Structure 1
Amino acid sequence: MNVVLDIFWHDLPSAVLAWSLLALLAAVAIGVLAAYTRQAEPQPAGPAPELLEQQTMLSEYAQTLARKAREASAAAERAAVTARRRREEWLAAQEVAERAWQHYDEADSQARRVLTASALPLPRTPQTPAEYAFRERYLHRSAMSACSHNRMSPLELSDALAHRRGWDPRRHPIEQEAVLTKVARASLRTAYRRASEAEKQAWLATEAATAAAQSLRSAAHTAQMRARRASRRVTPA
């Protein structure tokens, strides 16, 4: 028994050292295995710097296109408003031209009737101061009435009242009426030509405004489509 104990106590330090070495090797092996396991596990990868820069540029480009699309839409809307206003102006000018033509046509018909009647022999009237005073008053009233109905200009009225440029108050009322109707016809013909020219210019302005509105509307639609395509290419963060 003593021999066994002597052997045990003699070999105990060697056994403890051996077990300590085994424990140390096991701990090192476990640590190495754990480190390898952590390295083997997939780590969340961040975006590459090149990709981030590309996405930033695409985002800025999409924002620029969106801004231009808004500006193009606003310009197209303003052009549409202008086109509608030009059309309203043309319709108003068309009405003015139609009324001017009606007035001229009426004056022309009246002038034809008066000129036909004036071709007949004039009735005899007494050559008295009262007759000439009546003829003068008739000329003045007829001229002022024609001017108030826009059948002669204020300048022509002034000439008639002052008996200038061929206006003779001594003429028979039928002769004076013939002169008045010819003057009215010429004045209304001039007014119709001016109204017709104004209507033509209004129509040309309407056509130009309509074409501009259509062009800007098409450009705005194209800009919106480009902005949508650019926005779809931007990857959300």
Structure 2
Amino acid sequence: MEKTVLYQFLIEVPRAAAIWSVLLVLALGVLTVLVARPEPTGPVEKPADQDAARAANEEADLRRYAGEVAVAAAGAAQNAERRRAAWRTAQTDLDRVWAAYDEAESAARRLAGVAGLPTPRTGRTPAEYAARERWLRRAAMAAHWRGDLTARQLSDVLAGRSGWDPRRHPAEQEVVLARVVRDNRLAAYRSAAARERDLWRAAELATEAARALSAEAYAAAERLRPDRLPAPGRVAVGRPGPVVRWRPARLG
């Protein structure tokens, strides 16, 4: 009997010790949680505070955006003014080139009427042909320095290419030269007209962009007016709210 009781004691005691060990670990874990639990002892941000902060952030964003748009609008206005100035210059150049073409057209038309008259008879001597060549060279050089002949055309005249014949009478050469000058001035007028149209379109686009940015800058400034800003949430004034801090829990 005593052996049986001793045997049971030796078996049950370790089992109970194991059970109590588990319970002790659980108890210590619960105690740790209780000791470390937070206790509210300070102010906590209220929804009204959050609304006020959100409104302040929105106002700051509006001010930043309004400033950026204002700078962009000022730059667009300056760009539009530069474009308009370039167009006005091109328009002046176009008028000048047209006047030069009209003058050349009148000269070519007048010489074309004279071309129907008989060519003066001169002796066909080497001196005569040399004089004709000198005249053509001088006339071509003068037209080139005026900008009425390109370097390639002048080279053709001096080399007797592209239909240029220094042996022809100066009256005939003058008619041909007048037609070439007229055609060159007509090409210059067409080029100036195309440039003037392009600059006019660029000025129109720049003006429209400046107008749109100016309207957007005005709208952004309007949104910054005090009566247009969103009203911040009201913050209740009273005892401060709880602040979270840690302290040991009271046991018992």
- Would the TM-score normalized by the shorter structure come out above 0.5? yes
1:183 corresponds to: 180
Q: Say if 2:114 is the partner of 1:139.
A: no
Looking at secondary structure, tell me which structure has more helix per residue.
Answer: 1
Q: Say if 2:77 is the partner of 1:108.
A: no
1:57 corresponds to: 54
Q: Say if 2:146 is the partner of 1:149.
A: yes
Distance in 1, matches of 2:75 and 2:214, equals 10
Structure 1 residue ranges (4+ consecutive) displaced by more than 3 angstroms after TM superposition: 229-232, 234-237
Q: Say if 2:123 is the partner of 1:126.
A: yes
Provide the alpha-carbon RMSD of the alignment: 1.9
2:72 corresponds to: 75
2:189 corresponds to: 192
Q: Any unmatched runs of 5+ in structure 2? A: 1-42, 236-252
1:214 corresponds to: 211
1:94-138 alpha-carbon deviations (Å, 9 max, x no partner): 111111101100000000111111110011111111110000000
Q: Greater relative contact order (Cα 8 A, min sep 6): structure 1 or 2?
A: 2
Distance in 2, matches of 1:183 and 1:130, equals 27
1:35 corresponds to: none
1:174-226 alpha-carbon deviations (Å, 9 max, x no partner): 00000000000000000000000000000000000000000000011111111
Letter in structure 1 aligned against 2:192 = A
Instruction: Give the paired residue count.
Output: 192
Calculate percent identity across the aligned residue pairs.
Answer: 43
Distance in 2, matches of 1:144 and 1:235, equals 85
**Quick check: 1:152–1:184 contact (8 Å CA) kept in 2?**
yes
For the residue of structure 2 that corresponds to 1:233, the secondary structure is coil
Deviation at 1:234, TM superposition (A): 4.2
Deviation at 1:81, TM superposition (A): 0.2
Q: Say if 2:226 is the partner of 1:233.
A: no
**Quick check: 2:51–2:233 contact (8 Å CA) kept in 1?**
no
Letter in structure 1 aligned against 2:92 = E
For the residue of structure 1 that corresponds to 2:224, the secondary structure is helix
Deviation at 1:227, TM superposition (A): 2.4
1:10 corresponds to: none
Greater C-alpha radius of gyration: 1
**Quick check: 1:160–1:167 contact (8 Å CA) kept in 2?**
yes
